[in-house]
Chain A
Amino acid sequence: MTRTLRLDGVDRSFGDRQVLRNVSFEVSAGRMTGFVGANGAGKTTTMRIILGVLAPDAGEVSWGGTTLTRQDRRRFGYMPEERGLYPKMTTREQVAYLGRLHGLDAAAARRSTDALLDRVGLGERGDDLLETLSLGNQQRAQIAAALVHDPEVLVLDEPFSGLDPLAVETVVAVLRERASAGAPVLFSSHQLDVVERLCDDLVIIGDGVIRAAGSRQQLRDSYTVPRFELVVEHDAGWVRDHPGVTVVELDGARVVFDLPAGTDEQPVLRAALARGPVRAFRPVSPSLTEIFREVTQ
């Protein structure tokens, strides 16, 4: 099954403030797609439009080539940014209820709920009222609520915020399972290091416009300004005076520098060798944070 979730030219305004402009990207089956952007960039609005909670002003969302219907969306799993379940119901009961609303029959909902609560480590607290659980455990319940109907597509808004490191690992493992079972997984996060570690693909949004989208490696390659790290025997301060070089970081014998695109880096290496031994010389790929800073500027 290689179904793709696709957004095409989605616009959305609230009053006279346009929050999404011509947003188009794809979430491929079996891949974890990270969705990053500053606060207010339009991540949550985009996710709400995918789930049909908000209507787009223009553009469309399609799944496997056809426009999304409510029936399709019922097989989506959604975790909204602002968390919440019924405080006065037990976790087991409400996860099963949400399963039924998504189309499971009573027995299937119960089975799936029991399995999931065990999976996210809530098996023993499942019959407690939700309001008596710690925030971290409520978050686990929320994950179970998004997954109970074994969704074909997962859309998770900030799934890791508020989780302790152990819970992050649990959730990551669960999401990976779903992705390798063939589901497209779209998740947003402020924690760029988590996204960097997890995602196969990346969509970067800034001010309601998609700034970059593609596989992690592709983005790395295309957003790399030629940047190099050089470690020499003694002080590397002379590199500053080499023609074309912009020094990013200088720390005694170690220097990180940029060159204008298309410039050959070998003359810098030769100059270094002429001055003495070179301990290291390598291209530096930018971190996600750096790419993010660059494309959203």
Chain B
Amino acid sequence: MNVTQATRLVAEREIRVKLRDRTFLFGTLFFLLIAAAGTILPPLFSGGPSTVAATESLAAPLRAAGLEVRVVPDDRAAEQAVRDDDVDAAVVTGPAVLAMDDAPDDVVRALSTQPTVRLLDPDAVDPVVAFLVPFVFAFVFFITSQTFGVQIAQSVIEEKQTRIVEILVAAVPVRALLAGKVVAGAILAFAQIALIAVVAVLGLQIGDSGGLLSLLAPAIGWFVPFFLIGFVLLAAMWAAAGALANRQEDIAAVSTPVQLAVMLPFFAVIFLNDNATAMRVLSYLPFSSPTAMPLRLFTGDAAGWEPIVSLVLLVLAAGAFLLAGARVYEGSLLRTNGRTSLRTAWRERETIG
């Protein structure tokens, strides 16, 4: 049996155990509900076209705009219909639009002449969407790498705390143990996100917001490789942090640097996403590039070659962290009395390899 086979066995076990974990299952279900609710409900609540009361003479342009018109005998009846809340608005002689507390945009539009619009920067994105999308990307990466990262660390500590690690290390290379956990974490995280994405896409279609989808598609396409490699980078850190601890209680203390490595890029992307220079820098830094680069692609600020360079940088960083993580992991996995310092773990590799 070689390292690959051992890695597969380890990953299989991690996944099997996780799929039986109620917390994990309920968590996934919860995210799915949010994704469904967030995409299907808003269009439903916005309620479709307004209903308008108007006399027959004024009804034609309203009908042409696709509004639901209730024909009334005169302007007074139209006003009464609004007051009685039978309709959203009324159009009376003038023409003037009557409504209770909120000017109905679609009715106003139906009655106005609109100037021709020529967009000079056709890629520019609706400001609301431009605000939401970075948040969603950063949030998804933050939440997933945090949850699955902590789980990797916990699984490492469990093996250390129960001492089963000694049997495992005697049977398979330490590298395979580490790799198995990272692979399992990546598969689970990715599967969870994919499931949520499918639900969100279906939701967007049901809610008839398909336009947004075509805008997002290229950004999502790039988000996938960035996400996976970014996750591997963080997972290596989490596994090393777990190996430094000795009991589940130590996890908070040893994982502070990892928490920062997840948290700082998250807030940087959230707060600096309208600062082009900052975003350019963030989109190349390995910890923030998984969210920052897809975002710049989404807003159309990045040239075609940029994601490739950034991805290569990320791959290099992930490789380096994986090696460093493996070294710390090997150096601390069998030290079962108390917390191991990073220095000791780095200097002393115990096992035979």
Which A residues contact B (CB, under 8 angstroms)? 48, 51-55, 70, 73-74, 76, 78, 80, 82-89, 97-98, 100-103, 145-146
Check if A101 sits within 8 Å of B17, measured CB to CB. no
Which 7 pairs from chain A and chain B are nearest by CB? A84-B162, A84-B163, A80-B166, A51-B170, A82-B163, A52-B352, A101-B171
In the bound complex, residues from chain B placing their C-beta under 8 Å from that of A82 are 163, 166, 336
Q: When each residue 155-176 of chain B gets 1 if its CB lies under 8 Å from chain A and 0 otherwise, what string results?
A: 0001101111011111111000
In the bound complex, residues from chain B placing their C-beta under 8 Å from that of A103 are 1
Minimal beta-carbon separation of B194 from chain A (angstroms): 26
Q: What are 15 A-B contacts with C-beta separation under 8 Å?
A: A52-B169, A53-B351, A54-B334, A55-B349, A73-B170, A76-B170, A78-B167, A84-B163, A85-B162, A86-B158, A87-B162, A98-B167, A100-B9, A101-B10, A103-B1
Check if A80 sits within 8 Å of B163, measured CB to CB. yes
Check if B170 sits within 8 Å of A97, measured CB to CB. no
**B167 contacts which of A55, A100, A145 (Cβ < 8 Å)?**
A145
Give Cα A55 to B352, complex, Å: 5
Minimal beta-carbon separation of B146 from chain A (angstroms): 22
Majority SS at the chain A contact face: loop
State whether the Cβ of B85 lies closer than 8 Å to any Cβ in chain A: no
In the bound complex, residues from chain A placing their C-beta under 8 Å from that of B6 are 101
In the bound complex, residues from chain B placing their C-beta under 8 Å from that of A51 are 166, 170
**Also in contact, A88 and B352, with CB within 8 A (given A76-B170, A101-B6):** no
In the bound complex, residues from chain B placing their C-beta under 8 Å from that of A54 are 334, 350-351
Give Cα A74 to B171, complex, Å: 5
Check if A78 sits within 8 Å of B170, measured CB to CB. yes
Minimal beta-carbon separation of B267 from chain A (angstroms): 35
Q: When each residue 1-42 of chain B gets 1 if its CB lies under 8 Å from chain A and 0 otherwise, what string results?
A: 100001001100100010000000000000000000000000
Chain B residue nearest in CB terms to A69: B352
What range describes how many residues of B lie at the interface? 20 to 34
**Also in contact, A53 and B9, with CB within 8 A (given A86-B158, A98-B171):** no
Chain A residue nearest in CB terms to B166: A80
* Residue of B162, B172, B350, B352 with highest tally of chain A CB at under 10 A: B352
Minimal beta-carbon separation of A61 from chain B (angstroms): 10
Which B residues contact A (CB, under 8 angstroms)? 1, 6, 9-10, 13, 17, 158-159, 161-164, 166-173, 334, 336, 349-353
In the bound complex, residues from chain B placing their C-beta under 8 Å from that of A145 are 167
In the bound complex, residues from chain A placing their C-beta under 8 Å from that of B170 are 51-53, 73, 76, 78
In the bound complex, residues from chain A placing their C-beta under 8 Å from that of B9 are 97, 100-101
Check if A53 sits within 8 Å of B171, measured CB to CB. no
In the bound complex, residues from chain A placing their C-beta under 8 Å from that of B167 are 78, 80, 98, 145-146
**A89 contacts which of B1, B17, B336 (Cβ < 8 Å)?**
B17
Give Cα A97 to B164, complex, Å: 12
* Residue of A54, A84, A86, A103 with highest tally of chain B CB at under 10 A: A84
Minimal beta-carbon separation of A215 from chain B (angstroms): 28
Give Cα A87 to B161, complex, Å: 11
User: Given A54-B350, A74-B171, A86-B17, 7 other A-B contacts at CB below 8 A?
Assistant: A52-B169, A53-B351, A54-B334, A55-B352, A84-B161, A88-B17, A103-B1
* Residue of B1, B9, B168, B171 with highest tally of chain A CB at under 10 A: B171
In the bound complex, residues from chain B placing their C-beta under 8 Å from that of A53 are 166, 169-170, 334, 350-351
In the bound complex, residues from chain B placing their C-beta under 8 Å from that of A87 are 158, 162
Minimal beta-carbon separation of A282 from chain B (angstroms): 47
Minimal beta-carbon separation of A96 from chain B (angstroms): 10
**A55 contacts which of B13, B159, B166, B351 (Cβ < 8 Å)?**
B351
Chain B residue nearest in CB terms to A89: B17
In the bound complex, residues from chain B placing their C-beta under 8 Å from that of A84 are 161-164
Give Cα A103 to B173, complex, Å: 13
Give Cα A78 to B163, complex, Å: 13
Give Cα A88 to B14, complex, Å: 12
Check if B350 sits within 8 Å of A55, measured CB to CB. yes
Minimal beta-carbon separation of A127 from chain B (angstroms): 13
Chain A residue nearest in CB terms to B10: A101
In the bound complex, residues from chain A placing their C-beta under 8 Å from that of B1 are 74, 103
**A83 contacts which of B158, B163, B168, B172 (Cβ < 8 Å)?**
B163
Check if A101 sits within 8 Å of B172, measured CB to CB. yes
Chain A residue nearest in CB terms to B163: A84
Minimal beta-carbon separation of A153 from chain B (angstroms): 12
Check if B171 sits within 8 Å of A97, measured CB to CB. no
Chain A residue nearest in CB terms to B158: A86
Check if B336 sits within 8 Å of A97, measured CB to CB. no
Check if A70 sits within 8 Å of B164, measured CB to CB. no
Give Cα A84 to B161, complex, Å: 8
**B351 contacts which of A52, A85, A98, A146 (Cβ < 8 Å)?**
A52
Check if A85 sits within 8 Å of B166, measured CB to CB. no
**Also in contact, A97 and B351, with CB within 8 A (given A78-B167, A102-B171):** no
Give Cα A115 to B263, complex, Å: 51
In the bound complex, residues from chain A placing their C-beta under 8 Å from that of B349 are 55
Give Cα A291 to B351, complex, Å: 35
Give Cα A89 to B158, complex, Å: 12
Chain A residue nearest in CB terms to B161: A84
Chain B residue nearest in CB terms to A145: B167
Check if B166 sits within 8 Å of A48, measured CB to CB. yes
In the bound complex, residues from chain A placing their C-beta under 8 Å from that of B353 are 70
Chain B residue nearest in CB terms to A83: B163
In the bound complex, residues from chain A placing their C-beta under 8 Å from that of B352 are 52, 55, 70
In the bound complex, residues from chain A placing their C-beta under 8 Å from that of B161 are 84
